[in-house]
Structure 1
Amino acid sequence: MQINPQIYNKPIEYINKNASDVKLKEQTDSFEALILKYMLDSALKFDDHLYPKEVGSEIYQSMYKDSIAQSLSGSFGYSELLFNYLKDIQKEV
């Protein structure tokens, strides 16, 4: 197998310079929501041996954790940190 060097010699574009700050903030908030979802998945275990799991309870719990993560995103600081980092990279490029 031979590697095409033209693919790997292209410069990396970190951020589209035409993108607005609002779109970038939305993306960093979404990333923070993803991080929070993983944290909530490990922190909130709804396993109760007294009550058996019902059909669809895992879907409901996943949706519940998604809504919590979406509502908390943007307030933990990961989004702001990533936003500022990406804006600094955009200035350098």
Structure 2
Amino acid sequence: MQVDNSIALLNTNYQTPFAGAHSQSSDTLLKEQTDKFEAFFLKQVLDIAMNSEEENGLFEKDAGDKIYKSMYNDTMSSALSGGLGLSEMLFNYLKEGR
């Protein structure tokens, strides 16, 4: 039985010219992930901040109140992510480690 390794050899020979493009796309993916982490972190902070005002609120709480607050915090954390500086600091740290 003979095994044809020509396709595997072709793939190994052509991986080096595309290394720059690969690192560029991996940097983009890493930046997206660090932005998502910062958004998650901000959501946790906003959830804690919003829960503290529930005790002494002016209005009665209804069934959809928690859902609307969660949706609002999701939107705010996505809008604020990338501007806090945590994402960039984490991106630079992880990029150095590669």
TM over 0.5: yes
Report what 1:41 is aligned to. 47
1:60-80 deviation digits (Å, cap 9, x = unpaired): 100100100000000000000
What's the CA shift for 1:21? 1.0
Pair 1:32 & 2:38 matched? yes
Q: Across the two proteins, how many residue pairs are aligned to each other?
A: 74
- Structure number with the higher helix fraction is 2
Give 4+ residue runs of structure 1 displaced > 6 Å after superposition: none
1:16-62 deviation digits (Å, cap 9, x = unpaired): x8652111101000000111111111122352544211121101100
Higher relative contact order (CA 8 A, sep 6+): 1
SS in 2 for 1:70: helix
Gaps of 5+ in 1: 1-16
Query: How does the TM-score come out when normalised to structure 2?
Result: 0.67
Gaps of 5+ in 2: 1-21
Pair 1:53 & 2:65 matched? no
Query: How does the TM-score come out when normalised to structure 1?
Result: 0.71
